[in-house]
Amino acid sequence: MELLFICILFVLCVFFMALEIFFIPGTSLAGIAAAVSLIGANYLVFDTFGISIGFTVLAASLVVCLALGIWMLRSKALDKISLQRTIDSTAATAEQLSVKTGDRGKAMTRLALIGNADFDGRIVQVQSADGFIDEQTPVVVCRVIEGQVWVKRAE
């Protein structure tokens, strides 16, 4: 009876680990349940069969876990379900993307490093490149990087 319970715990460990890897990735209850099942099965082997068989099963379970982990990484078995696309989109608005280096505008809010500025009727979120800038201060765009607009005081 104990042997059957130990085998069930090892099978549950494999089931929960597969569930963790393929269906609900991340540290979740399935991963914790897999670890608890593995530890519980090894504990029961020590308790039921003694130290010599316990260490043999513990070593075998560690070798199997390590071998499966290495096999999964080297065989690229996870490539079929992994994300292959690169993210090329941006959260920048059309107004932010339309602003170019050298454009002149006026700070709509106090730029405590980040705020809003008006460029010919286009209100854009900007970052200050030279410290705090008060509201209604003329600004000029000094650089634009992927929709992130950097401004400084206009001379």
Burial class (CB in 10 A: 0-12, 13-18, 19+), 3: exposed
Q: What per-residue confidence (pLDDT) applies to 59?
A: 93
Residue pLDDT, tens place only, 82-136: 667 776 666 667 777 788 898 999 999 999 889 999 998 888 889 998 889 999 9
Which has more confidence, 23 or 140?
A: 140
Burial class (CB in 10 A: 0-12, 13-18, 19+), 122: middle
Q: What per-residue confidence (pLDDT) applies to 75?
A: 76
Q: What per-residue confidence (pLDDT) applies to 63?
A: 93
Residue pLDDT, tens place only, 40-73: 999 999 998 899 999 999 999 999 888 887 887 7
What residues pair up with 35 in beta bridges, in sequence order? none
Locate the domains of the chain by residue range. 2-80, 94-153
Write the DSSP string, 109-155.
S-BBSEEEEEETTEEEEEEESSS-B-TT-EEEEEEEETTEEEEEE--
Instruction: Give CA separation, 24 vs 21, 28, 34, in Å.
Output: 7, 8, 13
For the domain made up of 94-153, give the CATH fold.
OB fold (Dihydrolipoamide Acetyltransferase, E2P) (2.40.50)
Residue 31 has pLDDT above 80, yes or no: yes
